[in-house]
Chain A
């Protein structure tokens, strides 16, 4: 019986998850939890409460706008420059040095400085998110083009493919698994940065503020609603990206882990 459950992995993990949630709920029912830790059912109720107060969707929309704008700008620039640096020596020399020098910086530390210039505005937040998203996309796109089997390229060039065509049909496809992984890391980073920029400074709005309103006014259902919304959106965005990139990667495998 036990062995059969383990064989079906999704069944085992679902059972485990249900067990965890049940224990959590039970601990709440027995008053074993402090009052700021809500039970799973109370978290769902909290989402409903935030929605009825008309806070949930406006906050989520605001957060998602910043996140998607920053992510789209940062990761697309990162992928383009990364691929370019992979195929051109000049681009590599120009980009790689600067990137490797600035890579170890925690980019969120720039936010208070950017805020001096742009104020605590959407623009400042989007800029910091975009800068952060640039790096994983760039690094993995560059690594992807470097890791190409050279023989593939020789074959294409020998068969008379132009540089552009070799790039489009060989380099781009061979680098795609690594590119997809890099963008996926950027996406996860965008969520972290969105929360971070929304818990700092004035004029926030967004889910970050919702969490803090709940925390400051001891309205824990609101706080949990914000946390749950972040988690659900993060999970959904990742799944969406995996589905989308599955189409880009027909016949190839996604790399499990890239450089963050």
Chain B
């Protein structure tokens, strides 16, 4: 493309569509909405068409997958396994939140802990903690404990680092004000958690998908319960429709968890003028 040299005074601001003030020139929201719907519907139709054309049990169409999900939900197996997966995942996430927030706050407030731990945590952040799973199995057995520990370990990292950054970024005036009115250490902690709550909720939103990945992986590796186990079984039995229906369910769970966190953060951070999500 030749680069134009003429200065065009009429150049559309944010002509690349990247600027904050959106172009208002679009005929209406309709063409956009249509495109957005088409972006979902067309792949589905292609999938359905391809599946019908191949007529192969190993390549099920979308409706077959929905049907399968419905069947599995109505006969109750998915409720049992889904509950197992979700309870373990949430337990791990809860531990990660408690440990992560505690460590994050401590690191941001106690200088020697900051100096000792922060570089260590930053350095081990990119290391795949999941490779420690066999070790956790030896340590805690093949039951739920090793899986919950694995989820807690992987999820605590983003929570620690975000809490740390969030607490450090708190306006110093808040603390001065608190000290001026004679607030004790407990009130200071409360203030800290309040002020850092946008960062906390953002970190929770980062950790939730990690939780789901890790719990499913641990169940895929070795387990006789949970959704990961069901997927492995269905794959081994060459039942892609069943496996895909469970993947679909996992997607629904992930979506629900994410929306719940967003709704929660809208409540807890109502005071913040700008919610950072």
A interface residues, Cβ below 8 angstroms from B: 2, 5-6, 9-10, 12-13, 15-17, 34, 36-37, 86-90, 92-98, 101-113, 115-117, 145-146, 148, 150, 153-154, 157-167, 171, 184, 187-188, 191-192, 194-196, 199-200, 207-208, 211-212, 215, 223, 226-227, 230-231, 234-235, 237-238, 256-257, 259-260
B interface residues, Cβ below 8 angstroms from A: 1-9, 11-21, 23, 26, 32, 35-36, 38-40, 43, 58-59, 111-112, 114-120, 123-128, 130-135, 137-139, 154, 158, 161-162, 165, 205-206, 209-210, 212-213, 216-217, 220-221, 227-228, 231-232, 234-236, 238, 240, 243-244, 246-247, 250-251, 253-255, 257-258
Task: Check B21 against A150 for contact (C-beta < 8 Å).
Answer: yes
In the complex, which residues of chain A have a beta carbon less than 8 angstroms from the beta carbon of B127?
191, 230-231, 234-235
In the complex, which residues of chain B have a beta carbon less than 8 angstroms from the beta carbon of A167?
16
In the complex, which residues of chain B have a beta carbon less than 8 angstroms from the beta carbon of A223?
134-135
Task: Check B135 against A237 for contact (C-beta < 8 Å).
Answer: no
Task: Check B18 against A191 for contact (C-beta < 8 Å).
Answer: no
In the complex, which residues of chain A have a beta carbon less than 8 angstroms from the beta carbon of B135?
36-37, 223, 227
How far does the alpha carbon of A231 sit from the alpha carbon of B131 in the complex, in Å?
Answer: 8
In the complex, which residues of chain A have a beta carbon less than 8 angstroms from the beta carbon of B243?
112-113, 116
Q: Is the interface of B mostly helix, strand, loop or mixed?
A: helix
Task: Check A234 against B128 for contact (C-beta < 8 Å).
Answer: yes
Task: For residue B123, give the distance in angstroms from its CB to the closest CB of chain A.
Answer: 7
Task: Check B40 against A6 for contact (C-beta < 8 Å).
Answer: no
Given A107-B213, A157-B11, is A230 in contact with B119 using a C-beta cutoff of 8 Å?
Answer: no
The 6 A-B residue pairs whose C-beta atoms are closest, nearest first, are: A104-B254, A112-B235, A150-B19, A238-B126, A12-B115, A13-B119
Task: For residue A131, give the distance in angstroms from its CB to the closest CB of chain B.
Answer: 12
In the complex, which residues of chain B have a beta carbon less than 8 angstroms from the beta carbon of A234?
126-128
How far does the alpha carbon of A139 sit from the alpha carbon of B117 in the complex, in Å?
Answer: 30
How far does the alpha carbon of A226 sit from the alpha carbon of B258 in the complex, in Å?
Answer: 34
Of chain A, the residue at the smallest CB distance from B228 is: A109
Partner of B39, one of A95, A112, A113, A199: A95
Task: Check A9 against B119 for contact (C-beta < 8 Å).
Answer: yes
How far does the alpha carbon of A64 sit from the alpha carbon of B52 in the complex, in Å?
Answer: 38
Task: Check A115 against B235 for contact (C-beta < 8 Å).
Answer: yes
Of chain B, the residue at the smallest CB distance from A8 is: B115
